[in-house]
Structure 1
Amino acid sequence: MKTSILFTKRLQLRIVTLSDLSKIHELLSMPEVDQYNALGIPTNKEVTAVYLDEWIDSYEMRKEFVFSLNSIVDDSFIGLVSLKIGNPKYSIASIWYKLHPDFWGKGYATESTKVILQFGFKEVGLHRIEAGCAIDNIGSIRVLEKVGMIREGHKRKVLPLKAGWSDNYEFAMLEEDWQNG
């Protein structure tokens, strides 16, 4: 399984490394990025380093693939995208992404999500990939719909956000949906 670098027309996706700490900390510390994020803003760089260490360990165990999104043109850091593997018996994974606000609305989330879905189905051999997002997160809803994921459910007050408990939409795509898309 080739997993260290993926490419799209505009993006290089590479597995995060310790050298990404400053950029990731800056991204996770932005209130607008945190608005629909249950993780919360890290209190300092050491907290971010713990997340980064966990992502690196999870990659080594093939449990989660967290990629840094970078522009092919100038190597600008755009954000993060992840494929987190669930119970292998069910051949399911979930995806998440976080982009720097300077890059919102430019198609990067859609572009990176498409390549992560392809990676999950073709390289990892998954049967199902899921994603969830707060019902007020219109940008994420649009991304998930654009890539062909199907809204399957609505969970009530499941996300502990700064603004209070939020409902969550559940999206999914099956391998057969990907092949037929």
Structure 2
Amino acid sequence: MTELNFSTERLYIRPVSEKDIENIHRLHSLDETDEFNTLGIPKDINETREIVEGWILENNKSHTFAIELEQENEFIGLIGIKLGKEKYKNAEVWFKLDSRFWNKGYATESLKRIIAFGFDELNLHRIEAGCAVENTGSIHVLEKVGMLREAHTRKLLPLKSGWSDNYGYAILSTD
């Protein structure tokens, strides 16, 4: 399989590798990034290593990418696209950025590129995303890239603060 590396105006997006484990562990351990995440803070770096190794093994059904600042080669977060059943030509996207890099347009920039990858290279018909109803940052990102809110699911997400409602978003290849 060809290496999937993408550049945007300011970012370099590439498949995660074992060299990212420490950066991913740090990202997953931040209270700010854990607030709306169902993964939870890993108990140690070995738990993070297992997660990353799983992502690497699943790279034909699910693509998990490291996001780096192009100029500085600095790891700032993760973005992923998980393919659904082939017949449905759909996938789900997700992202998680270090809070130091919030509100700078990086999530929007990387998500636009991954959505383009999904439609242009994976020939998907539909790309979905979900987020906690209180996660206004992610809501803004999803709406900025053209995703439409289609659902409000009650008490779906097991967050550290308790069960949270979820907004479901989607974008079609024809949008």
Give TM class, smaller chain: over 0.9
Match of 2:155 among 154, 157, 177: 157
Structure 2, unmatched stretches of 5+, are none
Task: Tell me how far 1:78 sits from its aligned partner.
Answer: 0.8
Alignment of structure 1 residues 3-42 onto 2, 5 Å? 3-42=3-42
> Structure 1 vs Structure 2: percent identity of aligned residues?
50
8 Å CA contact retained: 1:69, 1:77: yes
* 2:80 is the alignment partner of 1:82: yes
User: 1:30-179 maps to which residues of 2 (within 5 A)?
Assistant: 30-59=30-59, 62-177=60-175
> SS at 2:26's partner residue?
helix
Which whole-Å deviations, capped at 9, do the CAs of 1:113-157 have from their partners, x for residues lacking one?
000000000000100000000000000000000000000000000
Cα distance in structure 2, aligned partners of 1:117 and 1:2: 18
Matched pairs, number: 175
TM-score by length of 2: 0.98
Query: What's the offset of the Cα at 1:4?
Result: 2.0
Query: Which residue identity lines up with residue 31 of structure 1 in the other structure?
Result: D
Scaled by the length of structure 1, the TM-score of the pair is 0.95
Which of structure 1's runs of 4+ aligned residues deviate more than 6 A?
A: none
SS in 2 for 1:40: coil
More helix as a share of residues: 1
Report the secondary structure of 1:84's partner residue.
strand
Where 2:174 maps in the other structure, the secondary structure is: helix
Cα–Cα, structure 1 residues 173 and 125, in superposed 2: closer, same or farther, change >3 Å?
A: same
Kindly state the Cα deviation for residue 170 of structure 1 after the two structures are TM-superposed: 0.2
Distance 2:2 2:107 in 1: 22
CA distance in 2, matches of 1:48, 1:170: 27
- Kindly provide the amino acid, as one letter, of the partner of residue 107 in structure 2: A
1:2–1:123 CA contact under 8 A, matched in 2: no
For residue 122 of structure 1, give the secondary structure of its aligned residue in structure 2: helix
How many Å separate the matches in 1 of 2:12 and 2:50? 24
